[in-house]
């Protein structure tokens, strides 16, 4: 499975259409596991998983903001540079995290590879720890009556 990657920045016309499309699609999402969409050509009914529609709504929302979108399969192997870019850290820092066992990896020849899902699990844990620390600091600031 290859990654679908779009680096095309949406035009203002694309963004405007994305706003309306996102709104209409979001309204189609019910409580079931799938939704039916009617295609204009041929009056065909297309049954689509709700998760796919939610993903499409997220993509359209990003386009409406003028953002480019990348889709990466969960089992995609990333280079250390790709992984570092996704975490917004330097490649040497990422390699240090990998060598310390904080992010699982394997070697393909002499090159380190990390699975996208492992990288996202690390990111989720890191983000959770940051939020917990922020909550502690906020509580401490309130205890000290620092005006926060």
65 and 33 co-located in one domain: yes
Residue 24's nearest CA partner among 5, 43, 40 is: 40
Domain that holds residue 53: 4-71
The fraction of the chain above a pLDDT of 90, given in percent, is: 45
Whether residue 63 sits in one domain with residue 11: yes
pLDDT at 47 exceeding the cut of 90: no
Tell me, yes or no, whether 64 and 87 share the same domain.
Answer: no
Beta bridge partners of 78: 114
| pTM of the predicted model as reported, rounded to 2 decimal places | 0.65
**31 and 66 housed in the same domain:** yes
102 with 132, same domain? yes
What's the domain count of the chain? 2
Q: Is 99 left (phi over 0), alpha (psi -120 to 50) or beta?
A: alpha
User: Considering the domain boundaries, does residue 148 fall inside one?
Assistant: no
**Same-domain pairing of 112 and 132:** yes
How high is the pLDDT of residue 7? 60
Q: Is residue 20 included in any domain, yes or no? A: yes
Statement: residue 119 has pLDDT above 90: yes
């Amino acid at each position: 499975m290859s990654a679908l990657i779009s680096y095309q920045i949406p035009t203002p016309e694309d963004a405007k259409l994305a706003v309306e499309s996102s709104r209409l699609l979001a309204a189609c999402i019910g409580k079931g596991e799938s939704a039916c969409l009617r295609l204009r050509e041929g009056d065909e009914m297309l049954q689509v998983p709700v998760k796919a529609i939610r993903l499409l709504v997220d993509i359209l929302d990003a386009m409406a903001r003028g953002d480019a979108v990348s889709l990466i399969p969960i089992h995609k192997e990333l280079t250390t540079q790709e992984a570092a870019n996704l975490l917004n850290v330097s490649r040497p820092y990422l390699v240090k995290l990998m060598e310390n066992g904080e992010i699982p990896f394997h070697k393909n020849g002499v090159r380190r590879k990390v699975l996208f899902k492992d990288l996202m699990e690390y990111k989720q844990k890191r983000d959770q720890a940051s939020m917990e620390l922020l909550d502690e600091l906020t509580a401490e600031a309130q205890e000290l009556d620092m005006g926060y």
